[in-house]
């Protein structure tokens, strides 16, 4: 059974072909290497800067769908292009029940799910003194 599976995957000769010549052996080894090779690692976080974000809107949407977190640096982009990009990313994140957060003026973080982000904030001294 395993021999048939290897044959279907191209890792072994057919059951009828018991003799394997050198050329077939090289092909089998090449296939085995490709099959057992680990896939290339994929980025967990994407950083997009400037007007390039507007050009790559569709890729950013696909990245959100794949579960990746996106940092948008729109500080040096054209204001209208930056706003349209931000609106698009916000729409995609909203549709996926994700979240977009403003980190600083012109820098935003988009996550595909709200559970991926956790916000820890320091309380200011005035608020602490008022509570005492």
Per-residue pLDDT of the chain (132 residues; tens, 9 = 90+): 676 666 666 666 665 655 555 566 777 777 777 767 666 566 688 899 988 988 999 999 999 998 899 999 999 999 999 999 999 999 999 998 898 999 999 999 999 887 666 777 787 765 656 665
Q: Give the residue ranges of DSSP H helices in the chain.
A: 2-9, 22-36, 52-55, 57-65, 79-95, 125-131
Per-residue pLDDT, 43: 67
pTM over 0.75: no
The candidate with the shortest Cα–Cα distance to 111, out of 59, 79, 66, is 66
Per-residue pLDDT, 95: 92
Per-residue pLDDT, 121: 78
- As a whole number of angstroms, the distance between CA 131 and CA 128 comes to 5
The candidate with the shortest Cα–Cα distance to 57, out of 75, 44, 70, 41, is 70
Per-residue pLDDT, 122: 81
Exposed e or buried b per residue across 72-100, where buried means at least 16 C-beta atoms within 10 angstroms of its C-beta: bbbeebeeeebeebbebbeebbeebebbb
Beta strands (DSSP E) in 11-64 are 45-49
66 close to 90: Cβ distance less than 8 angstroms: no
């Amino acid at each position: 059974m395993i021999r048939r599976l290897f044959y279907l995957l191209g890792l072994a000769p057919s059951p009828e072909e018991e003799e394997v010549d050198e050329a077939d052996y090289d092909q089998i080894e090449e296939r085995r290497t490709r099959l057992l090779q680990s896939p290339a690692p994929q980025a967990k976080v994407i950083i997009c800067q400037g007007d390039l974000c507007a050009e790559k809107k569709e890729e950013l949407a696909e990245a959100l769908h794949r579960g990746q977190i996106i940092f948008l640096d729109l500080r040096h982009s054209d204001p209208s292009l930056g706003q349209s990009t931000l609106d698009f990313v916000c729409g995609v994140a909203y549709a996926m029940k994700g979240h977009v957060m403003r980190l600083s003026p012109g820098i935003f973080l988009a996550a595909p799910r709200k559970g991926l982000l956790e916000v820890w904030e320091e309380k200011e001294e005035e608020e602490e003194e008022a509570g005492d």
